[in-house]
Structures are given as C-alpha cells and as structure tokens.
Structure 1
Amino acid sequence: MPTNKEKLEKLLGVSDPQEKDSLIEEIFDDIGSDVKGFFNEVKDLFTGEMPSIKKVEKQTRYTWKNHTENQIVQPLQYLTPKSYEDLVAIVQTAEANNCKVRAVGSGHSFSDVVQTNDFLINTDELNNPIPLDKSLLKGNVDTSFLVHVQNGMKIRQLNDYLDEHSLALPNMGGYDAQSIVGAASTSTHGSGITLGPISSFYKSIILIGDGGITYRIEPANGITNPAKYKAKYPGNKLIQDDEWFNTVAVSMGCTGIIYSVILEVMPAYWLKEVRTLSNWEIVKADLIDGKVLTDNRHYEVLVNPYKVKGKHQCLVTKRNIVKKPDIIIGSKGSRNFLTELLGLIPGMSDIFDFIFDTFPELSPAILNEAMKGLVDDAYIDKSYKVLNLGTANNISAYSAEIAFPVKDHIYIKAVERMFEVANKMKTLGNLYHTSPISLRFVKASEAYLSMQNGGNTCMIEIPVVNGTYGGFDLLQHYENAMYEFSGRPHWGQVNYLTGSNDLIKKMYPDYDKWLKVYKELNKNETFNNQFTDRCGFSVINFKNQ
C-alpha cells in the first residue's frame, strides 16, 4: 500500500487528467483518516530530496518572476513550446477559451509589458537559427549577411553563432542575456549616432496573429518574392507594407507572437574601448560642439548627478573599429581587473545595498569612486565582447530610461534638470542615487512606437541597485519631470505611462497608424494584457445595464 508521500511524489509527475483525479481522491480520503500523519509526510517530502519532475510543455500553478522580481505573475498556464506548430496551437487554444496570451524571453524587462493572467509562453526552447530559404527571396537580394533565427534566441547565443560564421551584429546593448526578439520589441538599443536600435536590423518578421494565422511582414520593398511565397505557403499571408512593418517591429508583443525574424548583420569586426574621467562642464562643451558623436562609432557618458568638490564627475567611453591585433598584451585583453572581480563576488548587490542604505550620504562619493574603477586606457576584443558590459551585469539592478531629441541639445537641458531633481530628492527626503546616470546616442528609427522615432536620440538611463530605498519613487519623479523635454520612457524599463490625457498619442506622431495595425492584428483582443490596458491600447467595453 503506497504511502501519502509516495502518492504525492507520483502526483508531481502525473500529466494524465484521469489518473491525476483518481490519485487526488485517494489522498483526500487518507487526509480525513489521519490529518496529522498527512502533514508530517508532506513535511518529509519537502525537507527531503525532491523527486525529479518530468519537464512538461504546460504548467499550471506556476509563479513567473522577471529577472529583478519586481514583476510577478501567476498565469493559468505557463507553456514552453518547442516548435512553430506549438505556438500556433497555443494561440488557437487561448482564443477558443477566451483567454489572452503573451510571450516572454529572458525576463529582463522591468515593466509589466509581458504580464498576463492567462497563457504565458516561455520561448527558451525556440532558440535556434533557421536555414535561410533563399528560394523565397527576390533575385536581387544579397543574402551574404542575412540570418534567420527563432524568437527565443538569446543575444549571447546569436553572437556565438554569428562569430562561428565570421559575422557580427552591427550593434547591441550592454547585456547579452536578453532574447533578440524581446529586446527589439521594446526598441532596445546600443550606442552610436549612426546606429539604430536592434529592431533596425530586421528585414522580415514571421508573426502568429489572431486565429493562429501566420504573417510574414516586411517593408514595402521587402526581400520576399510574393509569388514564390504564396506558392509555398498558400495559407500564410505575406504583408509588404511600411505601416505594418513599422508597427510590428516595435510592438511590445501587442500584435501577436513573433516566431522568427530575418536580420541583416555584418562581417565580424574588432573594437577598441577607451574610458577616461572628465566632468560635466567639459563633456557638455564637447557635446554642443558635436564632433565626439561623429568622430566615434560609439560615444557614451556616465554622469554623477551630485557635485563632489564642485564638479559633476563623468566617465567617457569611446569605442571604434580597429584591425584584429596580432598579439593582445596587458590591459588591452580585458577590462579593468578590479571592476570585473567585484562583479563576480556572490552577494555583491546585497553589499552595495547595505552600504547605500546604511550610509546614504556617502552615495555621491561612492559613485565617483565607482567611475574611477572603470577607467581603462584600452580594451580590444571582438565587437560583441566589448559591447557587453561583462560582470558588471551581475549586480542586481533595475532602471528607467528616457529618450530625448538630440536636436537643439534638448537632452542637455534634461540632464541638468535631472541634477535639480536629484538634489531635491536628497534635500527633502534623503533619497539618493545608487548608480550614475548614463547617456547613449542612437540613430533615428522608422518604427512608429520606437523611442527613437522621428530623429536621432539621446537615451538617458537611470539605474538603481535592487533594494535601494525609495528607488521606484525616485524614478517616477524623474519621469514626471522629463515630459517637459519631450522625454519618452523606454517601454521595457520602469515606466508610469498611461493612456490618460492622450499622453502616448502626444509622444508619438504616428500613434494612430500603429493603433490601426494593432487592432487589425488583434481583432479578438487575444494579445491584450495589463500593459495594453494601462497604456490605453485595449478596447474595454463597459455596459450600463
């Protein structure tokens, strides 16, 4: 006669509904006869060695958390598809049950963009390159630098794959654990005034929309031959239309589930990174002059929002393409050793949090010392290794990021207003930053809801070490203060955007075009969630009875 412990162990691995119901009934009967004994067996089960649980594609009673655990959701079903067919079936099943569905990559968004109470798709198993089907493309398309990848492929995996083929991404952000599609969908970016956000690498998007219909979406002059595509995939829809493409490229998962994308990359290249200390007055003059933006492929600035000894200290990072060196010696083969070492120490985030929380008044000086630790005369390596921030990413943090026009130096006025806000928070509430703010510059994007839409952009990021006292309040103060300077919050980072007062429509001149395509692809509202409700994209019907 099996014990309750053995039954419970078995229950964890049972997927057949009838077998599960029978087992639950047996356990319930036993609970009634010996409640104390049952709970002791449960205790033994969870304090002893856990039984192996068979990995299944569908899980219920699952709690999903993002990377920093500021977004938590308990969906009806947490699903891990392994194929295109699985994705189609999930969308169709969700619609048949009047449920919503969203997809999540690596969970590195700090906003509620993927939140859903219904069907949440984990894309980790969809992480492979797909052979490029050249037979579907127009005859004049150069395929030398085209790659086709599934939606769950992490940037780190993509970098390795490209490197094996002597290729590289034209640009990337400072973190490589994000999925390529997840990052692009919120207009995540790197730095460089001649380089657009990740979505600008897209040439074709394969998306599953309402009803499980498959769309291949491209610009009007897209790479795919319509006749050849229709002959091979008569049930799919090829849409070569600028409005559709510029909507879906940055759509935050609101228009459907992207299965795969075709990207345009470039030959592999090497970068040299130089980091030097400066101060805001010097950096400001250089930015107004403008040459630092055009003379360097990448130009970034970290700024201490507090004055120490009368100056706002800055760390300036410049990166430029160099020839592959014959021999790498000294510091040129790695970043500052101490900085990399600190990022590897387990619990370093907790240590930082303790220091900042216990001695908040020391924050301005600590930020200065942190920037000094990042100084390096040269770091030379393959592009993707230099663009990745390295072990600094191990420090647990969240952030807000706001986009400002480069024209008329509006972003400089925004930076100086941030100084005022930082000083106000310090003086009135003893609230302090736990990281410098950063400035990166990005080429304009044609995607309608890209933060970089409409012109070259300065992206100002405000990171906060996880656990910082008043951290989220600090970020909300900044967001509210930055609207005056045409500030557009990053969709995937901490933001407090709402659909009230036509706020988002005022930010994005092509908002109505985006909304039109969104409604066409989401007629059944299958891809709505808390985020679309908050932003006012969803149509919520209320009836007075």
Structure 2
Amino acid sequence: MPQEQRWRNWAGNQVAAGFTAVHPRGTAEIAAAVRAAAAAGRRVRPIGSGHSFSAIGRPEDVQLVLDRHAGLVGVTDSGLVTVQAGMPLHRLTAELAARGWALTNLGDIDRQTVAGALSTGTHGTGAAFGGLASQVRACELVLADGAVLRCSPTEHADVFSAARVGLGALGVLSEVTLQAVPAFALRAEEGPASLTGLLADVDAFLSSTDHVEFYWFPHTDRCLTKRNTRVPLTELDPLPGWRAVWDDEVVANGGLAAVVGAGRLAPPLVRPLARVSARALSPRTHTDAAHRVFVSRRRVRFREMEYGVPRAAAAEVLGELRRVVDRSDWRVPFPVEVRLSAADDVPLSTASERDTAYVAVHVPARTEPGAYFAAFEAIAGAVGGRPHWGKVHGLDAAALADRYPRFGEFTALRDRLDPAGVFGNAHLDRVLGPARARTGGR
C-alpha cells in the first residue's frame, strides 16, 4: 500500500515530504497509477536515482518510483537493446558487456536510471559523439490519461523527437530502445597540463582524439587532462588493482574529501590545498573496457551547475571564469570540468543544433554556491549557454525560450499531451511555464 514518504536527492539539496510513493511493476501498473492520480487531481513525478541537483524530480503529490520496473527486455542481433526505464545505467552496461555490446558514449557517472539520464539530457564527451539521447531508437510513453504510446522515427515521430530529452513533462518513459555497438576498449591517457596552454587552442585539444575532457583546479594554472581513444578489446591493459585503488580512491576521492573537510573547518586552507591537490595526480595510461573508463567514482558529494556553450566560445568562457575567480575571495575546492559534444536534433538537448562545449562548476554538497554559481551563470549566459536540466540553474521559461530554437515546439507538445499539467511540479512550471489548463487555456 502507498504510504506518505520523505525524499531527498543524492546531493541533499532537494527534499520533499508528505507525498505518496508508488512502486509499479510493469507498464500496466504505471498507467493505472497515472490514471488514479489524474482522476484525483494529483500531480505525478517519476523518479530514478535522484542524482539531479535541480528540483526537476521533486515530488509534490505522487512520486512514481521505477525501481521495480528495471529489467532487460531484450537485445537483438543488430544491437538494439530494449530496457524498462528504471534500469540503472551501470546495470545496463554490465548486461551489454556480457553479450558483447556497449553504449557508444557515456557520462562520467552511471548511477542514474535510463529514464532519468535521458530525461535530463545526460551526455558524455567526444567531438564526434552525441549524448545518450542520440542513441535512442524507440520509446514507450505512458501519457496523462494512462494511454500507452509507442514512439519511434516512424511512429508518433514528433513525440519521439521530443521525448528523448523530455524532462518527464510529456509522460512517463516505461521502455526505451537504444542502439548499442560492438563492445570496445578505451586507451586512457591522463596527465597534467596548464590552463594557459590549453586555452591557447582548447578546441584542438578537445578534438585531439575520440573522447577528451579536462579538469581545471581553481586558484592554480594546473589541469588534469583525460584523453580516451577507442581501440579493440584485444588491447586490454588495465591498471593493477592496487594502482586503481590508490589513484581513484585514496588520491582522488580521499584527497578531495580532505580538502573539503579542511576547508569547512579552516576556509583559508582551501587555496593552498587546491595547489597541493592539483599536483597530486600523476600521469598514467591504461586500457580497459569502455564502460569502465568512461565512468569515475564520485564519493564526495557536491552541488553542480553545468552549461553547454557554443563550441567556439569555450576558451572565452573559461578565460573569463578564471579572471573572475582570481579577482574574488572565493575558496573553490572542486575542479572545473570541461567536455565537448556533437550537435544533435533533439529539441531540448543542450547540444540541439550546435556543437557544444560543456563547462561544469561544483561546490561541496552542504555549501551554498552563492556568488560563484551566479557569476558563472552570467558568463555562460553571455554566449547563449544552455543549462543542464538536471543541474542547478536560475533560468525560467522566458529565458530558456531564447536559448532553444525549438522550445515552443516542445511546450506546445507538452500542452497537447498533458494540458492539465499532471506531470508537472513547481520547477517545471518555472522552466517550461505552467501547462495550458493551469493558465486558463491561454
């Protein structure tokens, strides 16, 4: 029986209480739960792992938890993999690897569910590679009246186009079909660099091999670079277990936790410790299965703001962010992450119709981001930056309509499929505008 619940997201900056949580099994139970909520005038928010930093998943009346709707439906001989939408990405990649397949690109966190990752526009890095949405070939959507809609490029193509990054505003994703590729390995080359040197031609560096990213340590000129090149599985040469534990758990996560903890007790220590952290990670090269290389373990909790900016504007944005940080009295313990993605054709994708550089800033989970995030948001906004839907930002529907050429197309579809705003919450009312019936049909 449904019971009133309390909920908080992974970072702890979004909380809710007094709602009803429902754990359906199968599409029919999802549809029944949606129909019951709509009939009672209650709003429904589907939730995955709660890894978003924005309030996109925050429930008000009914929370639809898909942890019992998380199985593998099937994999075809051509690599089309169909999963129930609540399956976590780390389970999906393991299922695919066991069958000789892989996702062609992944973000650096794999704790999200397939539906949650898609709905918020999760992406990885790679000048020639799109985000997760670009790998979708079909989906099943439960609409506000409980109807089940099968969508693909040839079935309800307009809904399919938008639902690949749907914010959970069009309906509940119940099944998703993705195009997998034959399993491959990545040769990972990691090492130090200077921000000054990278900014001299950041575009050339970010496109220098298949998947490239770097981390700049504020209060220093130092960066950690990661270059991942696609190679056959026959070239596997993984790190020894002790080295992986030392680098990733002791130095990376342990060192960051020490900086954050010391900064909480004695804030003046953050800047000198940032310089120490920037020098702690040594160069390394290894080759492993792609899903193991793409993903990093994040043990230290944080809040994040990320903007997708035009590819050509990356150096300008980073240069201005460095100038603002250097002039400030802020103490920033987390590195700034920089990635690149190919353009796609998804209406609310941050890479919609343009090649995109991603810049992400972070603060400890229990820290208010304040002026740091506000300054970065202004810098990204000056070049038409688009905020990641699952991360902290301050924009509303009017501002976002100027950033997305197809924003009106999406909101018109939302008003057609869900005129009463069954799938809304206060956050979606802000970023999309209230649904049609909630504004008197205007």
Give the TM-score category using the shorter length.
Answer: over 0.9
Aligned residue for 1:446, secondary structure, equals coil
Query: Do 1:304 and 1:364's aligned partners in 2 also have CA atoms closer than 8 Å?
Result: no
Tell me the number of residue pairs that the alignment of Structure 1 and Structure 2 aligns. Answer: 439
- Matched residue, 1:464: 363
- Matched residue, 1:251: 166
Query: Do 1:75 and 1:120's aligned partners in 2 also have CA atoms closer than 8 Å?
Result: no
Letter of the 1:478 partner, please give it.
F
- Matched residue, 1:425: 328
Partner of residue 316 from structure 1, selected from 220, 225, 229: 225
Letter of the 1:65 partner, please give it.
R
Query: Do 2:251 and 2:281's aligned partners in 1 also have CA atoms closer than 8 Å?
Result: no
Judged with a 3 Å threshold, the aligned counterparts in structure 2 of structure 1 residues 334 and 168 are, in CA distance, closer, same or farther, namely farther
> Which gives a bigger RCO, structure 1 or 2 (Cα 8 Å, sep 6+)?
2
| Deviation larger for 67-76 or 489-498 | 67-76
- Matched residue, 1:412: 315
Query: Do 1:102 and 1:115's aligned partners in 2 also have CA atoms closer than 8 Å?
Result: yes
- Matched residue, 1:67: 10
5 Å-filtered alignment, 1:240-319, equals 241=157, 243-288=158-203, 290=204, 292-307=205-220, 312-319=221-228
Deviation (angstroms), 1:282: 1.3
CA distance in 1, matches of 2:202, 2:238: 33
Aligned residue for 1:317, secondary structure, equals strand
Query: Do 2:185 and 2:236's aligned partners in 1 also have CA atoms closer than 8 Å?
Result: no
- Matched residue, 1:91: 34
Structure (1/2) with the larger helix percentage: 1
- Matched residue, 2:395: 497
Aligned residue for 2:401, secondary structure, equals helix
Partner of residue 374 from structure 1, selected from 258, 281, 298: 281
Judged with a 3 Å threshold, the aligned counterparts in structure 2 of structure 1 residues 83 and 306 are, in CA distance, closer, same or farther, namely same
Letter of the 1:413 partner, please give it.
E
Letter of the 1:244 partner, please give it.
V
Letter of the 2:215 partner, please give it.
L
CA distance in 2, matches of 1:104, 1:112: 11
CA distance in 2, matches of 1:405, 1:101: 34
Deviation (angstroms), 1:316: 1.2
CA distance in 1, matches of 2:10, 2:164: 24
Query: Do 1:113 and 1:252's aligned partners in 2 also have CA atoms closer than 8 Å?
Result: yes
- Matched residue, 2:290: 383
5 Å-filtered alignment, 1:4-15, equals none
When normalised by structure 1's length, the TM-score is 0.76
Cα deviation, 1:244-293, whole Å, max 9, x if unaligned, reads: 222111111010100010000101111111111111221122325x2x34
CA distance in 2, matches of 1:332, 1:324: 19
Aligned residue for 1:110, secondary structure, equals coil
Deviation (angstroms), 1:211: 0.8
Aligned residue for 2:59, secondary structure, equals coil
Deviation (angstroms), 1:295: 3.4
Deviation (angstroms), 1:327: 7.2
Deviation (angstroms), 1:325: 4.8
CA distance in 1, matches of 2:370, 2:140: 36
Aligned residue for 2:201, secondary structure, equals helix
1:527 equivalent to 2:436? Answer no
CA distance in 2, matches of 1:475, 1:98: 37
Letter of the 2:98 partner, please give it.
E
| Deviation larger for 116-125 or 370-379 | 370-379
1:215 equivalent to 2:128? Answer no
When normalised by structure 2's length, the TM-score is 0.93
Deviation (angstroms), 1:303: 1.0
- Matched residue, 1:455: 354
Judged with a 3 Å threshold, the aligned counterparts in structure 2 of structure 1 residues 483 and 326 are, in CA distance, closer, same or farther, namely closer
CA distance in 2, matches of 1:326, 1:204: 33
Query: Do 2:13 and 2:365's aligned partners in 1 also have CA atoms closer than 8 Å?
Result: no
Cα deviation, 1:182-203, whole Å, max 9, x if unaligned, reads: 1111111111011101111100
Cα deviation, 1:137-171, whole Å, max 9, x if unaligned, reads: xxxxxx51100001110011001100110101101
Query: Do 2:143 and 2:172's aligned partners in 1 also have CA atoms closer than 8 Å?
Result: yes
CA distance in 2, matches of 1:330, 1:71: 37
Report which of the two structures shows the higher radius of gyration computed on alpha carbons.
1
Cα deviation, 1:407-443, whole Å, max 9, x if unaligned, reads: xx212111111112223431xxxx2212110110011
Cα deviation, 1:314-354, whole Å, max 9, x if unaligned, reads: 11110012233577476599547243235676xx8764433
Judged with a 3 Å threshold, the aligned counterparts in structure 2 of structure 1 residues 130 and 355 are, in CA distance, closer, same or farther, namely same
Aligned residue for 1:63, secondary structure, equals strand
Query: Do 2:252 and 2:281's aligned partners in 1 also have CA atoms closer than 8 Å?
Result: no
- Matched residue, 1:111: 54
Deviation (angstroms), 1:123: 1.1
Cα deviation, 1:206-252, whole Å, max 9, x if unaligned, reads: 00012101111112xx3xxxxxxxxxxxxxxx41x2x3222111111
Cα deviation, 1:484-542, whole Å, max 9, x if unaligned, reads: 1111111101111113xx21110001111111111111123211111121124214756
- Matched residue, 2:340: 441
Structure 2, unpaired ranges of 5+? none
Query: Do 2:339 and 2:359's aligned partners in 1 also have CA atoms closer than 8 Å?
Result: yes
